[in-house]
Amino acid sequence: MQNPIPLMEAGITKTRSVCGYCGVGCAVDVMTRDNRIVGIQPAMDGPANEGALCVKGQFAYDFVHHPDRLTRPLVRRDDGKLHPTTWDEALQIAADGFLRAAAEHGEASVYGIASGRTPSEADYLMQKWVRAGFGTHNIDNCSRA
């Protein structure tokens, strides 16, 4: 008799990753088809979880494909509202604002808050942006709240 499991998994790609919720660091296989997540499996060989996973890690992945996701840069125009724009313009307005603050109020007037949710690569670059950009240590992350 044919094993039904390969049929269920037809066309599904598994990508080994780590759950994005709490700090336990459960290894998971993200199951995808046609650029969409269709399931999460706990990794039996995950060093932190050894095959276990909680209700959030197992099921709370709908947010990834949620229609509320931000898909374009937004800038606040003269009408006081946020409007979609290009990456180039959004980054330029962002950059100009920081340079203006530093020029008018000193380099210590710029502050960065890094995330406890992003990969370390983003945290490292956030702190480097503050330190290499302004020479200060005006950087923190969400660990105090």
Partner 1 sequence: MSNPLKDMEKPDVIFCIGTNMTECHPVAATRLKKAVANGATLIVADPRRIRLAEMAHLYLPLRVGSDTALLLAMAHVIARDGLIDQEFVAARTEGIDRLLEHIRDFTPEWAETITGVPAADIETAARLYGRADRGAIYYTLGVTEHICGVDNVQSLCNLVLMTGNIGREGTGINPMRGQNNVQGAGDSGAIPNNYVGFQSVSDPANQAKFTALYGREMSLEKGPTKVTALDRCGEQIRAMLIDGENTLVSDPDRIHGEHALRSLDHLVVMDIFLSETAELAHVVLPAAGWAEVDGHYTNTERRIQRVRKAVEPPGEAMPDWWIITQLAQKMGIPGFDYESPKAVFNELCSASPIYAGIDWDLAESGQYQWPIPYKGHPGTPRLHEDGFINGRGKFMLIGYRDPAEVVSADFPVWLTTGRRLESYHTNTQTGRAEGIDYLLPRETLEVHPADVDAWGLANGGLARLSSRRGSVEVVVEATERSPRGTVFCSFAFNDVPVNILTGSGYDPITQTAELKVCPVRVEALIEEEIGLVA
- List binders of partner 1 among 33-92 (CB under 8 A): 35-37, 47-49, 52-57, 59-66, 68-76, 82, 87, 90-92
Provide the minimum distance between the beta carbon of 34 and partner 1 in the complex, in angstroms, as a whole number: 9
Residue 125, phi-psi category: left (phi > 0), alpha (psi -120 to 50), beta (remainder): alpha
Provide the minimum distance between the beta carbon of 87 and partner 1 in the complex, in angstroms, as a whole number: 7
| Distance separating alpha carbons of residues 74 and 45, to the nearest angstrom | 42
CA distances from 93 to 84, 107, 125 (A): 13, 18, 20
Neighbours of 4 (CB within 10 A): 8
Per-residue contact string for residues 100-119; x = within reach of partner 1 by CB under 8 A: xxx-xx--xxxxxxxxxxxx
| Distance separating alpha carbons of residues 142 and 23, to the nearest angstrom | 13
Provide the minimum distance between the beta carbon of 70 and partner 1 in the complex, in angstroms, as a whole number: 4
Based on CB atoms, which residue is closest to partner 1, 7 or 144? Answer: 144
Per-residue contact string for residues 5-24; x = within reach of partner 1 by CB under 8 A: --------x-xxxxxxxxxx
> Are 16 and 25 in contact, with CB atoms under 8 Å apart?
no
Per-residue contact string for residues 118-137; x = within reach of partner 1 by CB under 8 A: xxxxxxxxxxxxxxxx-xxx
Provide the minimum distance between the beta carbon of 9 and partner 1 in the complex, in angstroms, as a whole number: 15
